[in-house]
Amino acid sequence: MSLSPAYIRTVATWAAEDAPGATAHGVLNMSHRWADIEARWEAWRQIIADTGCTYTELSEAWGCSPKAIWYAMGRSTPLPFDPHQAVHDRLLWQYGERRLSAILRGQDERTNADLAAWNRVCA
């Protein structure tokens, strides 16, 4: 089965018909309405299951970023959420490895000053 525009339109239309409030136009055109988003994710899951295509192949056929599909597929199968790991990952992304290490050791002056200020506000 190929990723022809007609096939993609057909699957998007079916997904929109099954999702209350979704429209085929919104599903195909990356609408930000929640009903359209959920229907689009369902269409992507169906297309991947039917064709065995990769996320990149689907994104090229759909005309969207591969990141959008990676995000949707990650959201469609929830993983256990670890809040400590989430904070660690965010700080690593935001500050880098060296500053994160200093923050975790309690040796980052800016973070310590910020925490002290919050403690004064909350006291």
Q: Are 15 and 22 in contact (CB under 8 A)?
A: yes
Backbone angles phi, psi at 10, to 5 degrees: -65, -50
Give start and end residues of each alpha helix (H) in the chain.
5-18, 24-28, 34-51, 55-62, 66-76, 83-95, 97-105, 109-122
| Average pLDDT by stretches of 10, the chain with 123 residues | 87 93 91 90 92 90 86 63 78 89 93 92 86
Considering only CA atoms, which of 31, 34, 44 is closest in space to residue 71? 44
What pLDDT, on the 0 to 100 scale, is given for residue 75? Answer: 61
Residues 6+ apart with CB under 8 A from 31: 23, 25, 37
Give the pLDDT confidence score for residue 94 in this predicted structure: 85
The identity of residue 21, as a single letter, is G
d(CA 18, CA 16): 5
Which candidate, 87, 120, 91, places its Cα nearest to that of 108?
91
* Per-residue pLDDT at 122: 87
Q: What is the pLDDT of residue 81?
A: 60
